[in-house]
Structure 1
Amino acid sequence: MKNLLALTFTAQLSVLWPSVSHSADFAAYEQKFPLKGKKDFHAVLEEGEALLTQSTLTAQQRTYVLHRTALHLVRLGEYNRAQHRLDALAIHLSAHPDDSMQGKYHWVSGDLAYRLSDIQTAQTHFIRASEFFSRTQDWRMLSHSHRMIANAVAKGSPDLGAIEHVTLAKHYAELDNNIPLHNAAFDTEARIYKLFGQLDRALKSRQTQLDWLKKQKAPNKDSVSATYYGLAEIFIDFGDHQAALNAFKQSYQYDQQMNERLYMGQNQIRIGEQYLRLNDLNSARAAFEQAKAINETLSHKRNLGWAIAGLGRVALAKKNYSQAAELIGQGLNLITSDSNPELYLKHLVMYANALSHQNPNLAIEKLEPSFKPMPTGTMVEAAKVLAFAYQQQPDFASALRYQTQATELLEQQAEQSRLTRLEAKKRDTELHLETLKVNQLQSGLDEQKRQNKLQSVILAAAIIVLLNFFLMFYLYHLKKRKVMEKETAVLNQALTLKQQLLADVSHELRTPLTVLKLNIEALQHNLITDPDATYTLMQSRLSMLNTLIADIYELAQADTHSLQLDLHTRPAKALFDELLSAIQPLVAQNDLTLNAQNTLSETLEVTCDINRMHQIFNNLARNSCHYSNKPGQVSVTIAQQDEQLVCHFEDSSPGVSDEDLPRLTERLYRCDKSRSRDLGGSGLGLSICQKLTELHQGHLSLSHSSLGGLRVTLTLPLTARAPSGD
């Protein structure tokens, strides 16, 4: 029908302007519009440029060609040429006014400004375009205009007034009976809600869009697939990976029906990622394998690299670090930082993670140049990977520096999250007001005859809402002030603790460093009569420094939840007999007597990290050796209470005061001189024991010992061993 009308219009032009010798060329050019599907924009642009050189074009024909060539230049990204062409069109329209073409001039000008990020200019042009299309009652272009106004408003500032224009875009698309435009308006609505952090409304919009699409006589499968994909993205933001997985699978099924292999491959990648989140490694591997096979047939480098890297992530989850590094490295070479910097950086961190377990130097070399202290999930993981890699070297100072950065970035993320939640609450209040405006607008579009009556009702509602808004605003600021006061108090307390910790660490480092400096100067000036003894003393002080740094780093790992346990289930009695045997020589060489009693049943089992349990017992034993008078006693009793294992670790005098007792697990806390750390401890042993016990789902407490010293009580969960069959 449209082609028939174009031919009729061309025939009329040939009658009105018989001197036009190239009307056939124009007719052929005109019939190529409107554009649908993939077109060769360069070829069509060349045809239009050739037509503009012809002096025989009518004013209407020249207007048409100027508009179309400007549109093509914008789509091809030739923005300077597009602006010159639009300037020529504006001059031409001033001499030959045409409301429809005036609207299209402003629409293309708005599109150009939008692509150049000149949002205010874009918004102005789109509003002017809607005014001209209202005069001509061009519902299709009116829908386009209001949808682009919504995009410009949302991109320019967090203004939920954009939803009003989305509502108008839907309305005019419905008047034009234009399903693709109506669907595009739904897409814009969901994107705006998601941009403003209103995930529940974005989800509702997508679900409404899906229901609306399925009610159509012939639902567009491509649109349904894209809507399911958008739903999955929102579910990911909610953290509901099972729902996201189901949505991606639905999207994949529609792509499969249309044989859209590009989107099939990408959907399988996203499906694999959700399986990884759900810890279903076999299903994740199958999805990534399928994505790899699809993208190999398409020769799509980025998605192929993404799929191969996904297989590497599965290997990484299985702790197969060699295979993980090889696969993720292959994927990185195909993704490249130029094509998708964010995706590349995310996988670079995973690549370095895999390398850090086998080749920490290479991991540092690959990742460190890309590390930036920004509060993003990727950078937090990067800091943790670098900390682990430096620990493997071992370079505890660098490891501690990156572990500290990871902690700081996590704190910044938490603060950003808090501010985002406050902003979301504020926008939610604004959105309630905006909803009234949208409802008012929809009522006006549906029933224009009742406008006068509705105005009085809306005015009363607006007054009530305004009063509620001011009340909510007042309560919000009142609550915010209280929260800020509380946060200030907590922050001041944290700063005080931080300053105390820094002072204690400085003291702990200064003492051995001073001893080292004095001995080095004495050696330098030949003031030492026994160099070997001096070297032994210096080695002892260096060992103390290294122990202190290692202990501080281990506590920093525990604070950022980076300390992982290698859990195994062992018979409880045999394990604790082994732990007691391990500390026997240490206790004996310090002139202490070990009295041990293990009454656990042979049928009981305990799940723990055996190396960490040795560390706990070794720390407790060293604590007793350092701070007990010689000769002395160490008593260890291990028994079952209900479903728990209870271990009492006691030593002889001297003891600690009631005031000092609850503070012994504080880091670097100084007690009286009888339990001074000058005897060799780092001051962090009990703190580490407490952290490791908590990681084992246990509890550590301190009390006075009947032997005159300190009593440490360790509680761990137990399980009964199933009887073996005959």
Structure 2
Amino acid sequence: MGQYKESFENHQLALQIEYQIGDSSSVASSLYNLGNIRYKMGDYQLALDYLNDALKIDEEMGVLQDIAYSNNRIALVLDAMGESEQAVPYVSKAIELFQEIEAKRDVDWATSVYAKVLFCAGQTEKAKSLITGVIKRAQEQNYQSLLIDAYVIISQIHLQQENYDEARHYITLGLNLANKTEEMAQQALFNGLLVDVYAKANSYKSAFEALQQQKQINDRILDAKRLDGIAQLQAESEYVRKAHKIQLLEKDRELQSAQLEQQKLESKLAIEERQRVLIELQMDNANTQLALSEEKQSRQANFFVFLIILGLFSMLIVLLFQRRKMSELQAQNARQLVERKNKMLSDVSHELRTPLTSIKLQIEMLEHELAEDPKQAYSLVHSKIASLNYLISNLFQLAKADSGDLELNIHEVEFRDWLSEFLQQQHRQLAEHKLELSSQLEIEKSLLFECDLDRIKQVIENLMSNSCRYTHEGGQVVFKCFTQDEQIILSIEDSAPGVGEHELPHLFERLYRTDKSRSSQSGGSGIGLSIVKAYVTAHKGRVWASQSDLGGLKIELFFPLKQNKGQDAQK
């Protein structure tokens, strides 16, 4: 939940900047992302407000794909709010638009949402027909995330229709896929469906096992999300309630069995009147055994209840201790978050104010015809606007990285040829700053590197730019590239001046500068290395900073040669 809050605040900051510069496309994208975050946080009404605002801008701009995404997401939120009938026109519109632009996978995605809405609205057979088609196409294309959602819907439909074998079949498929993708929330959901299936099929032992598995997964989810002690107590209470309900069902079945046995005995008494005395003795003996059995079961039940109460009391003590400890950690994290947020807002305000002040001054000089060289003044205004746009673009990319929405265009690249040509361009740039660039490319010419080449280019340019900005004239920059343990490693180091050992862990923090007195003209915006870390992390790589033997700074980038390509990013 903390990650959602931080991502929400970053998107809000980006949205304010986008409103100021009047970028409608970026405003709509940020509103969509804010609505999606609120939907994941369970704040459905606020999510619906953001998504409706995004849809209005999308319709004004006329981008069919964005209009379809917004309609489909609104349908999901309305369904979560219990407004299934209101969701129907939105998801129908999304399907129509996806079909128009021939986005087949998105058509199936929206169709699964439509099936879910129809099921909640009581149109079970139509929902069943739609979701069956989606499952078939998703299995052919191996769309795992879509398959998981579809298996949930078809399982719920069969469960409602009391087709327990079919329901259990699809639940097993979904559970296996959720285990493979390590989706704990989906694992818990499928185990919960198994509990319902087994309970209705009178398989109480299996129901207990599925319930315990669901509880274990929910416990891991609660630990991973750092939920407070109240939520954990609610989960424990729900577990005890369901367990007690299953026990009651089991006892009811035993009672019905005992009553049936008693009816058989009474029937035998009526039929075998001549053996009445013998049967009565047998009845007395049976009743005695039944009483002993019930007394034994009662003692066992009381002992079991005592163990449950003792266990819950022990867990309550532990949870209260953990809650107190967690509250202290949350308070400390909250203070640190506020301090970081205030510092970031202050730095962003400073970075925006400086070029805006310069732009204002130049415009006033032009307005009052005080500029000696109007062309130069206009050129300076354009330069400052470009600087502002670059800063805002980088902040937006960092916000997307925080929320996991950073998109990569992964392709296989013959990396040595591209790198050789790129370094020739950098030779000229560094020569203008009176720096010497030497390179060592220890990789095969035929080596294929799976990466987003534009992002890799920006990473290297940012590092070269840092070397140009901070290295003394006459210094040197050394670039190395080699492979090791299925990794491709890039190393860039420069000569003096260097960076203090205590400052190395902070180099990749946003808006951090080693020299606080530097201005944006000489010290940059302070987010170049943050962009580097975000792009490297998006490639499933890592970055390391250390002091160089040349007297300056050494940055090493570690990338896997092969990227595990996920599903295409949607919006």
TM-score by length of 2: 0.51
For residue 666 of structure 1, report the CA deviation from its aligned partner: 0.8
Residue of structure 2 in register with 1:473 after alignment? 316
1:488 is aligned to 2:338: no
Residue of structure 2 in register with 1:497 after alignment? 340
| Paired residues for 1:711-726 under 5 Å | 711-718=554-561
Residue of structure 1 in register with 2:358 after alignment? 515
Residue of structure 1 in register with 2:460 after alignment? 617
Residue of structure 2 in register with 1:269 after alignment? 133
For residue 713 of structure 1, report the CA deviation from its aligned partner: 1.6
| Paired residues for 1:38-437 under 5 Å | 265-272=129-136, 274-275=138-139, 278-279=142-143, 423-437=234-248
Residue of structure 2 in register with 1:152 after alignment? none
Decide whether the 8 Å contact of 1:547 with 1:682 is kept in 2: no
Residue of structure 2 in register with 1:655 after alignment? 498
Residue of structure 1 in register with 2:99 after alignment? none
Residue of structure 1 in register with 2:479 after alignment? 636
Aligned partner of residue 636 in structure 1, secondary structure: strand
Residue of structure 1 in register with 2:104 after alignment? none
**1:554/1:282 Cα in 2 relative to 1: closer, same or farther (>3 Å)?**
closer
For residue 627 of structure 1, report the CA deviation from its aligned partner: 2.1
For residue 264 of structure 1, report the CA deviation from its aligned partner: 6.4
For residue 547 of structure 1, report the CA deviation from its aligned partner: 0.8
Mapped partners of 2:128, 2:245: distance in 1: 38
The two structures, once aligned, show a CA RMSD in angstroms of 3.9
Mapped partners of 1:540, 1:418: distance in 2: 54
For residue 717 of structure 1, report the CA deviation from its aligned partner: 3.2
For residue 554 of structure 1, report the CA deviation from its aligned partner: 0.9
For residue 549 of structure 1, report the CA deviation from its aligned partner: 0.4
For residue 545 of structure 1, report the CA deviation from its aligned partner: 1.0
Mapped partners of 2:341, 2:480: distance in 1: 37
Aligned partner of residue 480 in structure 1, secondary structure: helix
**1:274/1:477 Cα in 2 relative to 1: closer, same or farther (>3 Å)?**
farther
Residue of structure 2 in register with 1:608 after alignment? 451
The letter for the 1-side match of 2:434 is D
Mapped partners of 2:140, 2:338: distance in 1: 39
Mapped partners of 2:558, 2:385: distance in 1: 35
Residue of structure 2 in register with 1:126 after alignment? none
Residue of structure 1 in register with 2:533 after alignment? 690
Aligned partner of residue 659 in structure 1, secondary structure: helix
Residue of structure 2 in register with 1:447 after alignment? 258
Mapped partners of 1:620, 1:415: distance in 2: 37
For residue 552 of structure 1, report the CA deviation from its aligned partner: 0.6
**1:419/1:609 Cα in 2 relative to 1: closer, same or farther (>3 Å)?**
farther
The letter for the 2-side match of 1:425 is E
Decide whether the 8 Å contact of 1:573 with 1:602 is kept in 2: yes
CA offset digits 1:222-246 (Å, max 9, x no partner): xxxxxxxxxxxxxxxxxxxxxxx9x
CA offset digits 1:568-592 (Å, max 9, x no partner): 2223321321331232332233333
The letter for the 1-side match of 2:410 is L
Q: Which residue, 432, 441, 460 being the options, matches 1:598?
A: 441
The letter for the 2-side match of 1:613 is I
For residue 274 of structure 1, report the CA deviation from its aligned partner: 4.8
Residue of structure 1 in register with 2:507 after alignment? 664
Residue of structure 2 in register with 1:390 after alignment? none
Mapped partners of 1:558, 1:700: distance in 2: 16
For residue 628 of structure 1, report the CA deviation from its aligned partner: 2.4
Mapped partners of 1:550, 1:273: distance in 2: 38
Residue of structure 1 in register with 2:419 after alignment? 576
**1:481/1:636 Cα in 2 relative to 1: closer, same or farther (>3 Å)?**
same
Aligned partner of residue 702 in structure 1, secondary structure: strand
The letter for the 1-side match of 2:329 is K
Residue of structure 1 in register with 2:400 after alignment? 557
The letter for the 2-side match of 1:597 is Q
Decide whether the 8 Å contact of 1:551 with 1:688 is kept in 2: yes
Mapped partners of 1:535, 1:489: distance in 2: 49
Mapped partners of 1:281, 1:673: distance in 2: 47
TM-score by length of 1: 0.41
**1:261/1:455 Cα in 2 relative to 1: closer, same or farther (>3 Å)?**
closer
Decide whether the 8 Å contact of 2:138 with 2:146 is kept in 1: no
**1:283/1:479 Cα in 2 relative to 1: closer, same or farther (>3 Å)?**
closer
Aligned partner of residue 483 in structure 2, secondary structure: strand
The letter for the 2-side match of 1:519 is Q
**1:276/1:559 Cα in 2 relative to 1: closer, same or farther (>3 Å)?**
farther
**1:695/1:446 Cα in 2 relative to 1: closer, same or farther (>3 Å)?**
same
Gaps of 5+ in 1: 1-194, 196-244, 249-259, 288-412, 720-726
Q: Which has the higher contact order (CA 8 A, sep 6+)?
A: 2
- Rg (Cα) greater in structure: 1
- Larger deviation: 673-682 or 705-714? 673-682
The letter for the 2-side match of 1:666 is E
**1:482/1:443 Cα in 2 relative to 1: closer, same or farther (>3 Å)?**
farther
CA offset digits 1:585-638 (Å, max 9, x no partner): 322333333222323233433221111111111111222222223344322122
Decide whether the 8 Å contact of 1:586 with 1:621 is kept in 2: no
Aligned partner of residue 502 in structure 2, secondary structure: coil
For residue 436 of structure 1, report the CA deviation from its aligned partner: 3.9
Decide whether the 8 Å contact of 2:229 with 2:320 is kept in 1: no
**1:665/1:461 Cα in 2 relative to 1: closer, same or farther (>3 Å)?**
closer
**1:278/1:494 Cα in 2 relative to 1: closer, same or farther (>3 Å)?**
farther
Aligned partner of residue 481 in structure 2, secondary structure: strand
Mapped partners of 1:263, 1:546: distance in 2: 48
Residue of structure 2 in register with 1:710 after alignment? 553
Mapped partners of 1:639, 1:274: distance in 2: 40
Decide whether the 8 Å contact of 2:229 with 2:322 is kept in 1: no
For residue 428 of structure 1, report the CA deviation from its aligned partner: 0.8
The letter for the 2-side match of 1:693 is V
Gaps of 5+ in 2: 1-79, 81-111, 116-123, 151-223, 260-286, 563-571
Aligned partner of residue 529 in structure 1, secondary structure: coil
The letter for the 1-side match of 2:545 is L
**1:280/1:705 Cα in 2 relative to 1: closer, same or farther (>3 Å)?**
closer
**1:465/1:646 Cα in 2 relative to 1: closer, same or farther (>3 Å)?**
closer
Mapped partners of 1:464, 1:268: distance in 2: 46
**1:613/1:459 Cα in 2 relative to 1: closer, same or farther (>3 Å)?**
closer
**1:468/1:442 Cα in 2 relative to 1: closer, same or farther (>3 Å)?**
farther
CA offset digits 1:536-574 (Å, max 9, x no partner): 222222221111101111111111121122222223321
